[in-house]
Structure 1
Amino acid sequence: MALKVLYALDTARTQWYHFKAIIIAGMGLFSDAYDLFCLPPILRLLGRIYYQKSTDNFDNNDNNFVIHRHVDSALLGVAFLGTAIGQLVFGRLGDRIGRRRMYGLSLMVMILSALGCGFSICTSPSCVLVSLGFFRFLLGVGIGGDYPLSATIMSEFANKRTRGSFIAAVFSMQGFGILASSIVTMVVCGIFHGASHPKPKEKTPSEADLAWRLILMLGAIPAAMTYYWRMMMPETARYTALVELNVQQAAKDMEKVLDVSLSQIAEDESLTLPQDPSSYPLFSKQFLRLHGRDLFGCSASWFLVDIVFYSSNLFQSHVYGKYLGKKYKSNVYEDAIHVALFQAILAICSTIPGYWLTVYFIDRIGRRKIQMMGFLVMALVYFAIGIPYRTYWQDNINGGFMVLYGLTFLFANFGPNTTTFIVPAELFPARFRSTCHGISGAAGKVGAIIGAVGFGSASHGQTEDHKAVQILLVILGGVCLLGLAVTYFFTPETKGRSLEENEE
């Protein structure tokens, strides 16, 4: 049955509310990136504060005290575990209870856990890291819940002509979160540095323990600023009409936010949508027959790209030591500032352009082609870095290497890192849409854990096993080729069709 309200959603012109929804939905992704990318400079601070007396963690090459190589991977891994759980739980609740009702709850979990990260009252290294790990797990749960809800809400509000660009714009807020984390880190450390004036090789000042807490807690502000607007959002018209079976209420909600008259979208008062007696439950034989292939394609693609993407992020520790090693200062604040500056440059030159290339091209080229292109270019770059690594790049990380390294981020975001977020929000029926997006995202975070643990074990500062790094870089290239194959055989194109047409 063709409903006027759904047709109006698919054909609505781009309006102010669409851009407002992008900002409201994007703040969760902004906070996700902020909390992930503020961790590398914070680990430099934690290493100086809590491990300064440990000769086992002292690197004579750059006078840096660093946390044990498995601890930083563990802090990432526990956040990814929380994210996977949040995606599954909030994704399912978004279909059972409603997108809007769960939207505010996931954001509140993010806000409180971000504040909790800075309120560890412990003073011993192990106690601080356990406390930080606990709150980062909770933070991951909130972030994970935000993924399926943000993607689903944006897809159900958007028109079919620009839906891909709108969802990609929501996801692109990650790029600004990365940049914001770097700027905040540099500003906070700069203020503390100016106030304390510690000398080189001097014992780390006690005030530095406040700096990392402040950086983490500031990440709660953007999310808190959008909480009110999330609670004021109406339920999506598609959920109200197709899941709650209340077409009249869907029309009224749509009139509140979009420039469309009720007379254009109101159905006959006698119209009812009885529950389809042949409706099938999640993971039933009929569900798997109709949607199992799509769910496998979305989950496998997200799993593979997250192995590569988060391994690339951990590879930055290697680049810090090699490319910036001589520029490192023994001062704790300057140390963190240099790491944050490197991340900011990489975000401006590579990460953010990749996101916005997807925003511009996705409704022109299509999701499937962009995803295949991204996997292919990433594979070629990893082979170019990995195969000659020990003979050329090992002691020669120069401008050429940095260009290649930047391309991995450019084509991850102008490629599968963005499209895997978009496609699951377009393929599945309304009553399974949030759940299936959560399942796909959780599979991705399992891949992120593999990337964090696997690459973290081989690469750490200047003490990495060069042969292991070379092997892992080549493996990452192979993973990208596998992602290309999965996309080719299992990912359909969703461009230019309504959500209901894609479902069929």
Structure 2
Amino acid sequence: MPSIIESEGSELGDAHWVQARESGIGNSQVETNYSDERRIAILAAADSAKLEWFHIKVSLVAGIGFFTDAYNIFAINIASVMIGYVYGGGDIPPRALTTTQDFCLKVATPVGTFVGQLVFGWLADVYGRRKMYGFELIIIIVATFGQAVLSGSSPTVHIVAMLAIWRTILGIGIGGDYPVSAVITSEFAAVDIRGRMMSSVFAAQGLGAFLAASVACAIIRGHEKAILAETSLDNLESIDFMWRLLLGLGAVPGVFALYFRFTIPETPRFTMDIKQNVERASRDIKMSLRVGEDVAVGEDAPEDIGIRRNTLPNFWDYFKRRENWLVLFGTAYSWFALDVAFYGLGFNSAKILRTIGYGGPSKDPDPGSVGDVLREIVDNLQKISIGNLILVSVSLPGYLFAVLSIDRVGRKTIQYMGFAMLTIIFVIMAGAYNVLVDTQSGLKAFFALYCFANFFQNFGPNTTTFIIPGELFPTRYRSTAHGISAATGKFGAIIGQIVFSVSESKGSNYRSIQIALGVFGLFMFTGLLSTLLIPETKKKSLEVLSNDTQTVSGKGKSRRRGF
């Protein structure tokens, strides 16, 4: 029998042998199964690989998708204000979207994302990560272009309704990107760099939000003269063009990433465990990670290596075990709790900014003076765009801290810390709200607390809730379980928007924010509790973390994780 595991891969190879034995598989049984030996060798090679250009390429290709997703999600903050000026209602100018219109426009994307995460998560486990990887990006590009070229409102269909439909479709594509990107990155990554790779992919979200805020500032600055030159408040053509340009530019990064999405190889774990093709996985891992002769390569033919099939009965058999469904509940609810606040505040940053003086009318404009109203519109758009840029900028260090510390500190520790800090911050902001917003010094303190909240969301559960579900489950269910966790999070995003809309209908903008902050603080505390159900994943192979026997026909016994 040829040597399969050599040099630097040997230690991890030995670890996989130990895992097989601990799962209840006898030495003789393992040693006589050559296919299983090769599977162990491939896993050892992938898990022990040094950082290669291929790892960087995978992170970049996945990251560009998240960059595009975040741009499209957060560009609506300022775009909705622009749309309100052009198509909103109200007897006294400037116009604005109604609470219902604003709610529909902002909740449409999370609704679509919810669907996309469930559907594409399942499809990626059935048909492969690679096959799904480009299709969701095509949906994003088409939907982004579609909303940018919409015609104006008609007597039968309001443009906000059509925008909501397009943004729901956009959300489906964005939703598909979450489980597929997470799983592709985790399954290609070596154990020692998996956290950094996955957090780097997710950090692209911050860069996308930053670009959306920056582009909004540039567009508003570039069209200031055109806005002031308008002659009628009933036909603001310059602003109508601005929001279309802002949203439409979100398709550009996706177009550049499309080729790489379709040409990325299938992950070796899917090829082995789902397609049952050990030799193809051997060749792919050798070509991608340059592992030399450590992995034997033979004929490209499917063979039975004893992995349980991805069937509904097997799915229920796995998740009906208490230790497994509790982990899924922990990952799903933690994401839910986080997104209630993350998107509740993120989609309503313009309202937060008005509280601290960035945006909103500084005086009552004279409805008869078109020039005054136009000047007020320009000032408001500039304040909101600059304020958004500031908020996004102060959140970027959180992503950086997460990337640098995730493989040393650990996912669970960072999630604990983040939820704990967010609970404290939101409780203080809600409890001392009236004091904070009454004085200039209080407003500065309020803004500082809000910035700290953004920091600890990203150096905390916003990053870890994305990473952990991509590590904890067997290959055959990994994408589905990540999709379930992510979709539960987007249900939380919908709840967060409902909280803001309902609290806004109960009182003024100031009162609604206080109520929302109090509710968000409660959810952060429950997220802290749900983290107890999740095991630490750093420095462990995906096969250990899956809590599942993935060798020799599934005859070994599962080892229960400690919580």
TM-score (norm 1): 0.92
Equivalent positions of 1:45-56 (< 5 A) are 45-51=82-88, 54-55=90-91
Q: Aligned partner of 2:488: which letter?
A: A
Match 2:540 to one of 494, 497, 501? 497
Match 1:90 to one of 120, 145, 150? 120
Q: Aligned partner of 2:338: which letter?
A: V
Q: How big is each residue's C-alpha offset from its partner over 1:190-225, in whole Å with a ceiling of 9 and x where there is no partner?
A: 222244543799666323212111111110000110
Q: How big is each residue's C-alpha offset from its partner over 1:83-131, in whole Å with a ceiling of 9 and x where there is no partner?
A: 0100000000000000000011111001100101112113349521011
Instruction: Please list every run of 5 or more consecutive structure 1 residues that lacks an aligned counterpart in the other structure.
Output: none
1:205 is matched with which residue? Answer: 236
State the superposition RMSD in angstroms: 2.5
**Length, aligned pairs only:** 493
- 1:117 touches 1:132 (CA, 8 Å); kept in 2? yes
Q: CA deviation at 1:282?
A: 5.0
Identical positions, percent? 35
Q: CA deviation at 1:367?
A: 0.4
Q: CA deviation at 1:393?
A: 2.7
- 1:198 touches 1:331 (CA, 8 Å); kept in 2? no
Match 2:142 to one of 112, 123, 126? 112
Q: CA deviation at 1:41?
A: 1.1
2:490 is matched with which residue? Answer: 445
Q: How big is each residue's C-alpha offset from its partner over 1:238-293, in whole Å with a ceiling of 9 and x where there is no partner?
A: 110111111111122223322222x2212566994344469873542343215212
Match 2:319 to one of 287, 301, 306? 287
- 2:268 touches 2:282 (CA, 8 Å); kept in 1? yes
2:343 is matched with which residue? Answer: 310
- 2:328 touches 2:485 (CA, 8 Å); kept in 1? yes
Q: How big is each residue's C-alpha offset from its partner over 1:331-350, in whole Å with a ceiling of 9 and x where there is no partner?
A: 5344323212211111112x
Match 1:164 to one of 191, 195, 213? 195
Q: Aligned partner of 2:103: which letter?
A: S
Between the aligned partners of 1:434 and 1:141, the Cα distance in structure 2 is 16
Between the aligned partners of 1:170 and 1:369, the Cα distance in structure 2 is 20
Q: Aligned partner of 2:140: which letter?
A: M
Q: For the structure 1 residues 409 and 111, does the alpha-carbon distance in structure 2 shift closer, same or farther, using more than 3 Å as the test? A: same
TM-score (norm 2): 0.83
Which one is further off, 249-258 or 127-136?
Answer: 249-258
Q: CA deviation at 1:326?
A: 7.0
Between the aligned partners of 1:133 and 1:278, the Cα distance in structure 2 is 39
Q: For the structure 1 residues 278 and 195, does the alpha-carbon distance in structure 2 shift closer, same or farther, using more than 3 Å as the test? A: closer
1:363 is matched with which residue? Answer: 407
1:299 is matched with which residue? Answer: 332
Q: For the structure 1 residues 325 and 195, does the alpha-carbon distance in structure 2 shift closer, same or farther, using more than 3 Å as the test? A: closer
Give the SS at the match of 1:175: helix
Match 2:420 to one of 360, 364, 376? 376
Q: How big is each residue's C-alpha offset from its partner over 1:133-160, in whole Å with a ceiling of 9 and x where there is no partner?
A: 0100000000000000000000011100
Q: How big is each residue's C-alpha offset from its partner over 1:50-81, in whole Å with a ceiling of 9 and x where there is no partner?
A: 236x22xx4xxxx7432112222221212111
- 1:45 touches 1:333 (CA, 8 Å); kept in 2? no
Match 2:108 to one of 67, 78, 92? 78
Q: For the structure 1 residues 78 and 196, does the alpha-carbon distance in structure 2 shift closer, same or farther, using more than 3 Å as the test? A: closer
Q: For the structure 1 residues 175 and 271, does the alpha-carbon distance in structure 2 shift closer, same or farther, using more than 3 Å as the test? A: closer
- 1:86 touches 1:145 (CA, 8 Å); kept in 2? yes
- 1:363 touches 1:495 (CA, 8 Å); kept in 2? yes
- 2:277 touches 2:302 (CA, 8 Å); kept in 1? no
Which one is further off, 469-478 or 490-499?
Answer: 469-478
1:42 is matched with which residue? Answer: 79
1:221 is matched with which residue? Answer: 252
- 1:64 touches 1:330 (CA, 8 Å); kept in 2? no
Between the aligned partners of 1:385 and 1:279, the Cα distance in structure 2 is 47
Q: Aligned partner of 2:543: which letter?
A: E
Equivalent positions of 1:237-276 (< 5 A) are 237-261=268-292, 263-266=293-296, 272-276=303-307
2:66 is matched with which residue? Answer: 29
- 1:251 touches 1:266 (CA, 8 Å); kept in 2? yes
Q: For the structure 1 residues 459 and 406, does the alpha-carbon distance in structure 2 shift closer, same or farther, using more than 3 Å as the test? A: farther
Q: Aligned partner of 2:342: which letter?
A: F
Q: How big is each residue's C-alpha offset from its partner over 1:402-453, in whole Å with a ceiling of 9 and x where there is no partner?
A: 1100111110110011100000000000010000000000000111000011
Instruction: Please list every run of 5 or more consecutive structure 2 residues that lacks an aligned counterpart in the other structure.
Output: 1-35, 363-373, 548-563
Between the aligned partners of 1:320 and 1:469, the Cα distance in structure 2 is 11
Between the aligned partners of 2:232 and 2:397, the Cα distance in structure 1 is 39
2:383 is matched with which residue? Answer: 338
Q: Aligned partner of 1:209: which letter?
A: D
Between the aligned partners of 1:278 and 1:133, the Cα distance in structure 2 is 39
1:17 is matched with which residue? Answer: 54
Between the aligned partners of 1:202 and 1:132, the Cα distance in structure 2 is 22
- 1:5 touches 1:251 (CA, 8 Å); kept in 2? yes
Equivalent positions of 1:93-172 (< 5 A) are 93-124=123-154, 127-172=158-203
Match 1:393 to one of 425, 430, 437? 437
- Are 1:469 and 2:513 an aligned pair? yes
Q: For the structure 1 residues 205 and 141, does the alpha-carbon distance in structure 2 shift closer, same or farther, using more than 3 Å as the test? A: same
Q: CA deviation at 1:327?
A: 8.0
Give the SS at the match of 1:13: coil
Q: CA deviation at 1:378?
A: 0.3
Q: For the structure 1 residues 334 and 22, does the alpha-carbon distance in structure 2 shift closer, same or farther, using more than 3 Å as the test? A: farther
